Structure 1
Amino acid sequence: MDITGIAKLSTSIAETGNAQEIGLAMLKKSQDIAASTATQLLDAVQAAPSVQNLPAHLGNTINTKA
């Protein structure tokens, strides 16, 4: 193996390592964003009022002859 082959191999290994590190950092960032979004959605669901806009007489009787 000559010097240029060793240099190319070394450069290739370094670039692969950098690409993997960047990909891992992007994955972690996207997971953080997803977790933040999920937390916001859960907070919004829990904070929603449970007041219904239905008249008070609805749901008091069951029609068994229908």
Structure 2
Amino acid sequence: MDATISPALLVDRVLQTRNNQTSQDAQIGLLKKAMDMQASASAALLNAVAGDLPLASDGSLGTQVNALV
């Protein structure tokens, strides 16, 4: 069994690894931007839906707490 490695093959593998890492870094960066945009859009949507809702001040719905244990 020959354990020698061709220098050209070694250089090729190192370059492939670097290119793959660069590609993965770019993909992760794009994914992070997309997630940030989605989080921002979700927060804006929730804020628009919730708004400033008044609290109940009369009646039995939302004004009484059953604290019996």
TM-score, normalized by the shorter chain, greater than 0.5: yes
Aligned residues: 61
Secondary structure of the residue aligned to 1:59 is: coil
Which residue number corresponds to residue 59 of structure 1? 61
Write out aligned runs for 1:5-20 (5 A).
Answer: 5-20=6-21
Higher helix fraction: Structure 1 or Structure 2? 1
Which residue number corresponds to residue 28 of structure 1? 29
Q: Which has the higher contact order (CA 8 A, sep 6+)?
A: 2
Gaps of 5+ in 1: none
- Give CA-to-partner distance per residue, 1:1-21, whole Å, 9 cap, x none: x8x701000000000000000
| TM-score, normalising length: structure 2 | 0.67
Deviation at 1:58, TM superposition (A): 4.7
What CA RMSD, in Å, does the superposition of the two structures yield over aligned residues? 3.3
Taking every aligned residue pair, what percent have the same amino acid on both sides?
A: 16
With over 3 angstroms needed to count, the CA separation of the structure-2 counterparts of 1:58 and 1:20, relative to structure 1, is: same
Asked if 1:41 is matched to 2:36, the reply is no
Deviation at 1:59, TM superposition (A): 2.9
